[in-house]
Amino acid sequence: MNDSSWGSPPHAGSRAGYWGPVDQGPVQGAAPAGPAYDAPEAQQTRPMPIVPEHGGDQDEGRGAARPGGPLFPDRPYGTQPYGDAAHGHDTPSAQPHAAVPQNPEPMPDASHPAPAPQKKSAGRDLGAAIGVGVGLGVVIVASLFVVKAVFIGVIAVAVVVGLWELTSRLQERKGIKAPLVPLAVGGAAMVVAGYVRGPEGAWVAMALTALAVLVWRMTEPPEGYLKDVTAGVFAAFYVPFLATFVALMLTADDGAFRVMTFLVLTVVSDTGAYAVGWRFGKTKLAPRISPGKTREGLLGAVSFAMVAGALLMQFVIDDGTWWQGLLLGLAVAASATLGDLGESMIKRDLGIKDMGTLLPGHGGIMDRLDSLLPTAPVVWLLLVLFVGSG
């Protein structure tokens, strides 16, 4: 406790540094008698109490000695302060030691008990999520194994809706106006070109779409042109171009089974990450990007995907082997996780949780495509390397 807490500093005429009792002469902070000092000032001064040599603890905050003894009693909780302390002064009043309770009452406990630990929650409407997922699965499987052209239409519709969600959120949250019309038309054409003309057709459609974005934006004022066209080209690559690799998988003789393998592995990876992470997850994987993801969940995704990959490559894909499935499952788990983290980064930058509300329990279309889009080229490439493009 520093000297300034004891009131006014001593005058030059006083004996500085004297810590004696009141009746032994002037003390620090006391005004000397005489006509130069009026009565009100003299009444406001207080004698400095005696500090005993022993009986004080060390102040944990500043390391200074805390006075103890009868002049510095510890008042029990809830008692009314007396003396100068009742008026906001730090100086304790010199009350007799016998008046202080010897066994002060302890601090009372909090009025509200500690809340009971809550159970983990999935954070979404699980019933709606399962229903929507099953419905989408039926549409995809029916179109995939009945008429391939219908499935190409499903991909094109998903691409257009995803572009609409992405460009809408960019404009709402960042004021970026990526041209939707050339993106939607070019995106659908990109998927069809990939299915009809192969990788060359996909690359040509991508280049023409980027050019259309640049030209379309020229019809508006130049302010913000660079950020708008940059976002447009990014959207063209991120959504329709990556989705085109699903159409490329479909061109093979066993294309329907390749696409099914791609979809099943991605879903199994996400399911393994969710199940294991929700039950055992403790160590955060990327807390600054997606606080809900854990390293335990990543291990679950890898384990589930590798087992599923071995089974699918051995029994579904022509000329495939189980060890290729292990590598394929590992690659899918990695790409799906990175894709999920990538979109989480976009949504965190935009300050939103979901890209849309079209799918109850899931969010928007882009919230379902986040892990599928970057996984499509990985699966297409590995299947071409393992069993060829035929």
Identify the pLDDT of residue 285.
95
Rg (CA), the chain: 37
- Burial classification of residue 205, based on how many CB atoms lie within 10 Å of its CB (0-12 exposed, 13-18 middle, 19 or more buried): buried
Return the half-sphere exposure (C-beta side, CA atoms, 13 A cut-off) of residue 292: 15
Identify the pLDDT of residue 103.
53
Q: Which residues neighbour 223 within 8 Å (Cβ) at sequence distance 6 or greater?
A: none
Identify the pLDDT of residue 66.
45
Task: Round to whole Å and give the CA distance between 163 and 365.
Answer: 9
Identify the pLDDT of residue 135.
82
Pairing of strands 65-66, 284-286: unpaired
Task: Round to whole Å and give the CA distance between 334 and 281.
Answer: 18
Identify the pLDDT of residue 321.
96
Q: Hey, what are 61's tokens? A: 């905050």
Which pairs with CB-CB distance under 8 Å and at least 24 residues apart come from 163-167? 163/187, 163/235, 163/239, 163/240, 165/355, 165/356, 165/358, 165/364, 165/365, 165/366, 166/235, 166/238, 166/239, 166/355, 166/366, 167/231, 167/235
Pairing of strands 290-294, 284-286: antiparallel
pTM above 0.75, yes or no: no
Task: Round to whole Å and give the CA distance between 299 and 305.
Answer: 10
Which of 298, 303, 262 minimizes the C-alpha distance to 281? 298
For the chain, residues with pLDDT lower than 70 are 1-126, 129
Task: Round to whole Å and give the CA distance between 5 and 111.
Answer: 34
Identify the pLDDT of residue 121.
53
